[in-house]
Structure 1
Amino acid sequence: MKTIYYPENERGKNDIGWLKANFSFSFGPYYNPEKISFGALRVLNDDVIAANRGFGMHPHDNMEITTIVLKGALEHKDSMGNTGVINAGDVQIMSAGRGVTHSEFNPLPDEDTESLQIWIYPKVRNIKPRYDQKSFGDSIKHNTFTTLISPDASDNALVLNQDTTFVRGSFDEGKQLNYTINTPGNGAYVFVLEGRVKIEDQLLNKRDALGVHDTASFSIDTLSATSLLIIEVPMK
């Protein structure tokens, strides 16, 4: 098993007032040649968006984009004709394919929105753009992982144009979690949303991450009440 440690305090940061962004990988004003991607995982932006502010219409192509709202809400509009609000507990996916434009806006009058935007390289390029959204608020159970995205829509999960699996879960202190790689050859990016865990001999605190690869499974020990997001991606 091989690992890559991504400490929170080494993330890129950009504060422009209405947007406070944290970049796990090189993005926009942040560039680190050692942090371009983890396998097919290209972007993980951890954003705080002020009330009544957001991103105007902007283009994407040939990227698999996932938005997870942790707190608050985001209003989405795109060139495919989709409009709607992504609330906390919702997951939105968008296959940009051969090209799409969209906007994201915090519609709340007096509350910040906290969200993750995750980009993964596609399995097939230049496909017809596609959009989907699902609420997982009622299906997430304590002390177990819930599958948000899978390659084959198992467990009523969303599907991206890539052999990727996303799972999320909240756990009590003192649990040993065993994670098995779903797609042989994939690696897993373990992102600590809250709490403190240990994987092998590596301690991880809030917003730290560990890339794990060249293994079929690994264990996670929770050292406090913990919330985790695991993103499994092809390494080649």
Structure 2
Amino acid sequence: MAINSRDEFIDYIKRDLGDPVIEINVEEQQLDDRIDEALAYWREYHSDAVHRTYIKHQLTAEDITNKFVTVPSDTLHVVRMFSPGSSTTSSRNFFDIKYQMHLNDIADLHSYIGDLGYYEQMQQYLSLLDMQLTGTPQVNFVRRQYRLYIRGEIEDKDLLEGDYIILEAYAYIDENTFSSIWNDIWLKEYAVALVKRQWGTNLMKFDGMQLPGGVQINGRQIYEDAMQEIEKLRERIRLEHELPADFFVG
């Protein structure tokens, strides 16, 4: 049966651990905490937990003064920043050195009768000029602050108030919008293991206590079994589901 909400996810965890046949000694708030913990780890390492997106932002006077912009709280990584107005194809100023090089040193494509190969070579040459004269904007994303610090572009006045920037980023998939995340196999197994660990922790204080019928409580064994499952799942997500590190280098 497909799981479509957080409440159904909690019910699934309880059933997996034996409820209602066995009483699961975990308080509701503890259940919520363990699910939040599972979601946080899943988002951190699982490729299915994030998606690539592009964020448009118009710079304000406050951004220019602060030299950083605030990004949405669901942003995991910022790969790079584009500044549409700083490309060699759209110089701001007639006296800009890039514009003058276009004017004096680049062949007039309108009067040249050539093939696609020449056009491609010219585009590569323009890209090389852009890289050498403009460079790649240097940015530093501080995730826990939700801030993207812009280095150099603002001091050099390459970016001004009112300019637009575009950020290539990776963001979390919202579980409230896309309920299918609750059916992720790894997430379900990991959440069950975390709740099992919490159950064992709660019962350890009663270790050795005899119940009616001679049954003895062994919370430590439940805890140790859960820890083994958690370690295996953490190893599996890093080996099988994590995105390559270079996706987030920029």
Q: TM-score range by the shorter chain?
A: under 0.3
In our comparison, the structure showing a higher alpha carbon Rg is 2
Higher RCO, Cα 8 Å, sep 6+: 2
Q: Scaled by the length of structure 2, what TM-score is found?
A: 0.20
Between Structure 1 and Structure 2, the one with more strand by share is 1
